[in-house]
Amino acid sequence: MISFSNAQFQLYYKEKFGEILQDLNKRRFTIYRLFSFLAVVLLMCILINKVFELFVLTILIIGFCLYGFIYVSFLWLKFNRTCKISLTSFIMKFFMGTPEISNLRYDVNQWLNKKEYLESGFFSDNISVYKGYGQMEGKVGDITFRLSELQVLKNGKMDGRLRTQFEGFFLHGKLPFKTSGAAIIWSRKEKHAVHSAIKQFTWLGAENKDAEQPNQLFKSLFATYAFPGTSAGTILSEEMMEMMAGFIQKTGRSIFFSYVERDIYVAVSAPVNLLTMPLFKKFKPDKSILTFFELHHLIFSILQEFEIHH
């Protein structure tokens, strides 16, 4: 398992994040005040027009306010990008403090493509909307990876309404060795939602391997499918199975894992844009940043454990 703990990160958070969060909050309040000022001016303009019927002046002020709102929207988009890049960079510095993780970099304009998402085997190809929110690259041991925040929507079969297929963090890694066989592990609570994907995997020759899982808690929380000859009990270490099961019990989130030949995929459900500050709601940085850390700690630990045990 990756050699750092929540307690170590919380200490790092207290020491390093105070100044940057204070600066980001100041910029956020500046944008909020500008938005509030424009809203008040627009409201007063409407009231003045009703009372005094100054139509031409009203049109000019409304035009000014509309231009102002466009400018504020631009500032808000720019601020969100800065916020995400700054906080992600600070967290990456902590990750790289351990020898297992190296060469981390982040690009807010890149994300995993739809082809890689579907090649994981986690979900069916019934995709209507596919959005990405940045990409982290790097290495865990000798495994190179790319990790993105994704939001994927699909059309419901019955009513055609858009529904969430996946929302959270999705990783595609390249192993330094070729594995034999192939396996996919789904959170059991998602089994009905991913029925089509399971059916497609079994059509390729995979079998249900739940009976081979030695960890009873893990077996109750995850559905395991693999090709014949792949031992389910050796896919993940006992320590990793306990960590994944404990994470689900604590958070209620979903975890997906698969591998085939040199490719490994890990996905964990979570709200997108954890590290962006809302304009009108209170931002709880300790909760959002700790959640971001815990998700990545789990994902990186899965990569490390898989490389060690294979």
Cβ-Cβ contacts under 8 Å for 72 (sequence gap 6 or more):
31, 34, 35, 38
Q: Same domain for 122 and 161?
A: yes
Residue 221 within any structural domain of the chain:
yes
Looking at 52, 86, 120, which one is the last position of a domain? Answer: 86
What is the value of pTM for the model shown?
0.88
Answer whether residue 48 shows pLDDT above 80.
Answer: no
By mean pLDDT, which of 35-49, 210-224, 250-264 is the weakest?
A: 35-49
pLDDT band at residue 82 under the 50/70/90 scheme: confident
Range of the structural domain that residue 271 is part of: 102-309
- Give per-residue pLDDT as tens, 230-243: 888 888 888 899 99
Q: Which amino acid is at 70?
A: I
Distance (Å, whole) CA 149 – CA 133 = 5
Task: Assess if residue 132 is contained within a domain.
Answer: yes
- State the burial class of residue 149 (Cβ atoms within 10 Å of its Cβ: 0-12, 13-18, 19+): buried
Q: Answer yes or no: are the C-beta atoms of 165 and 127 closer than 8 Å.
A: yes
DSSP annotation of 283 reads: P
Asked whether residue 126 falls in the same domain as residue 241, the answer is yes
| 91 part of a folded domain | no
Residues 142 and 193 in one domain: yes
Residues 196 and 125 occupy one common structural domain: yes
Tokens (6 digits) for 209: 């391997």
Task: From 86, 120, 148, give the residue that closes a domain.
Answer: 86
